[in-house]
Amino acid sequence: MYLPSADRYSAMPYRRTGRSGLLLPALSVGLWHNFGGDRNPEDQGRILRRAFDLGITHFDLANNYGPPPGSAEITMGRALKTDFAHLRDEIVISTKAGYGMWDGPYGEWGSRKYLRSSLDQSLTRLGLDYVDIFYSHRPDPETPLEETMGALDTAVRQGKALYAGISNYSPEQTREAARILGELGTPLLIHQPRYSMLDRRPEEGLLGVLDELGTGSIAYSPLEQGILSDRYLRGIPEGSRAAGASPFLTPDAVTPELVRRLGALDQVAKERGQTLAQLALAWVLRGGRVTSAVVGASSVAQLESSVGAVANLEFGDEELAGIEEILTAG
């Protein structure tokens, strides 16, 4: 039986999720990449166990994570059965539904039928009676928001989820979703937007709305698919995602100007005693406005490096001004 580290809660900061009672670790592990059926299960298990030893109690999934779709939940379900069965009450499991999952008219978006069917399938793959957080993964332009939020409310009332969340919703959609859920009696716990040094759209209204609503936030892609790491300081390395290993990151994204900015940010990181990736994670978490940041990991070493960011989450005014100048120059 896996026995976790006795001091696992000693170093990781935990932040309150909005006005709820739920605390989340400053860093959460996302199973979007590296946890599908195409990877070594033993390596996956080592990463998940090490994450828990380092104080990461939250594991973020979606129905379509893999590849193939659904296999990341199977991976997590295997770990929950073999390693974490006696630790379920110390772990937060989240999953989502919204993107294409199966054929036909009921296999994606935000209908009640799809969301409820997807959650039941996710629970089967995970081997759980409930997940802690169930998200609408994206807004559905064709389905009334009342229907989508009603499905989240039903999941909570049935005990299949403890909390309701949304992802990729605009500020206006977020405000309306919170209103509908509030009237149903299920608060909007959390919003998961894409947010990083290179994608600051949440600052254009969303973070303010979340502050006003008392809703938590968890940033995905805080390292921009690895661009905000030392891998791209000299351009596009062979075998990287930008070199064609991922459909989500194309070579034209890594411009000479971006490489110049990465070099300047790397110098700031060195002055702080951090790697570029650690700086990028600390910047997203600065000031406590973001509850948690989702990190991926292809190895235990990569995970440990990311967790090193929490050792220094404080920034001086001059540091922030210098970073802002780098990010906005030109």
For the chain, the structural domain boundaries read: 14-225+289-313
Helical axes 171-184 vs 145-157, angle rounded to 10°: 50
Specify the pLDDT at position 234.
Answer: 80
Specify the pLDDT at position 92.
Answer: 98
CATH of 14-225+289-313, one of 3.40.640.10, 3.20.20.100, 3.40.50.1370, 3.50.50.60: 3.20.20.100
| Spatial distance between the Cα atoms of 324 and 264, rounded to a whole number of angstroms | 11
Specify the pLDDT at position 196.
Answer: 98
Specify the pLDDT at position 244.
Answer: 56
Specify the pLDDT at position 254.
Answer: 83
Its pTM stands at 0.95
Specify the pLDDT at position 242.
Answer: 55
Specify the pLDDT at position 153.
Answer: 98
**Mean pLDDT of each 10-residue bin along the chain, 330 residues long:** 97 98 98 95 98 98 98 98 98 98 97 98 98 98 98 98 98 98 98 98 98 98 94 74 58 85 96 98 97 97 98 97 92
Specify the pLDDT at position 245.
Answer: 58
